[in-house]
Amino acid sequence: MRLHQQQQLLLQLQQQQQQQQQQQQQQQQEKVHRLLHLWGPCSSHPSTIAAAALPSKTAATAAAAAAAAAAAAAAAAAAELVLQRGAALLCLRIFGISVE
């Protein structure tokens, strides 16, 4: 009986981890999509991000999807930093502070 409970707990933990990973991937993809929408067309087209979200059947396609998702996340992080810097510079200019 105790072994069965441990197996059930392990299965629940694995399911929770999978759900968390899926949620994180979805959040990253949504973030990238929003940033791409703000920036307009660019080399990281939303179809690339959508392709990374498709279920994969082989290890090679899974690795490619993971690489695409990682690249999209990196692009989103870089884009967000650029937007934050631009917003900060704009705020400084509004208050008459020059930055060189």
* Among 92, 60, 25, residue whose Cα is nearest residue 84: 92
- What pLDDT score does 60 carry? 67
CA 10 to mean position of chain CA atoms: 27
Task: Let me know: does 53 contact 25? Beta carbons within 8 Å.
Answer: yes
Task: Check residue 36 and give its pLDDT.
Answer: 67
The predicted-structure confidence for 66-78, as pLDDT tens digits, reads as follows 777 888 888 888 8
Question: According to the model, what pLDDT value does residue 96 have?
Answer: 80
Two tokens, residue 70: 């990682």
Q: What residues in the chain have per-residue pLDDT under 70?
A: 1, 35-60, 99-100
* Residue 50 pLDDT: 53
Supply the pTM of this predicted model: 0.36
* Distance separating alpha carbons of residues 39 and 45, to the nearest angstrom: 11
pLDDT of the residue at 37: 66
Interatomic CA distance for residues 41 and 32, integer angstroms: 12
